[in-house]
Structure 1
């Protein structure tokens, strides 16, 4: 069973500038960073409180709730990474899981019609994720990244174009090592959007970083539409 709070076209739009962050991924107050990112034009936010120095328990839940409220005020979908219990507690719009997290099919049963994103590294993982109820795929890491301590080796842009060539049609967001400089290439390879952590969270001026990503994605999307005559 698949299904989410957004129709597929709306989900593709929401994935265009996808910001991921936890309290340990930024130099400034995380709520301030998120507020700037929203002002700069992000279209979806994922709360990912993992790794060294991450908050736990009540502190983590309180930050998640405050971030969810901020996103809700600005009509930004709020996704929780991996933690289904937390997602349900704060009434998140969805959950994103990796290959080592709770199985997608079990997560789909628990979250009902909320958005379900699944990380995929290759065609087999993508097809399994779709069978198990994924609404969108996070494909990568496309480029080398140091943000995630357990990141796999970079797969390159070909991993996205090959999925499209092999018939994967659900929304796809590129992940891993993406910046405003290479975001356009990710879109041109077939992705609907780009997801970033440090490109915004560690930026000196997050609002400007988010805006630069938004422009890069928009321009590449327009180029792709002009090349094909149709949008994805």
Structure 2
């Protein structure tokens, strides 16, 4: 798959990280569950999982509407502490490195549009081990508002020097799809984060694949392939 060099407009593909490139969604759900339990809050794991992909502040506000600011900070701190114990267990999904390399070799700028904490993102980048294929990345420090607000996508696009009309976003959560729609970026959704194809399509996903390997198998005919070819 070769890029069309007839246009000088830079094109790019953004990737969410947790649940999209790294198999971590359920670990985040478990970390939040334990954080809530530490504060005496008995919240079902399934309810938490459906909100993973939102920013932590929005997740807490949705599940505990009357949560005080002090408790919110305690919950976020506890989540971070518990999640860090899972770092040695985290693994990338199959064919992730090949997918990132394929996008890069097609002439697309590749960005990690992550809203993770900086220390978690550094761990994720080491796990991905694909630095030569990644041109820019973001963390929670780069966004004022978390997903489904599009701030993190805007920040990543700015770092890449790519306009929304020349980009595609790959994510795994309804909140990724909504964030992309907010600035007119088509979203390719993956179900490996645990959200069904029906829900992702209902939210507005343009394409849905099982996981990074499935997307790689269809890369040339996907929105990514069409973007690289200038179609």
Q: Same fold (TM over 0.5)?
A: no
**Higher-helix-fraction structure:** 2
Structure having greater relative contact order (Cα 8 Å, sep ≥ 6): 2
**Higher-strand-fraction structure:** 1
The alignment's TM-score, normalised by the length of structure 1, stands at: 0.31
Larger radius of gyration: 2
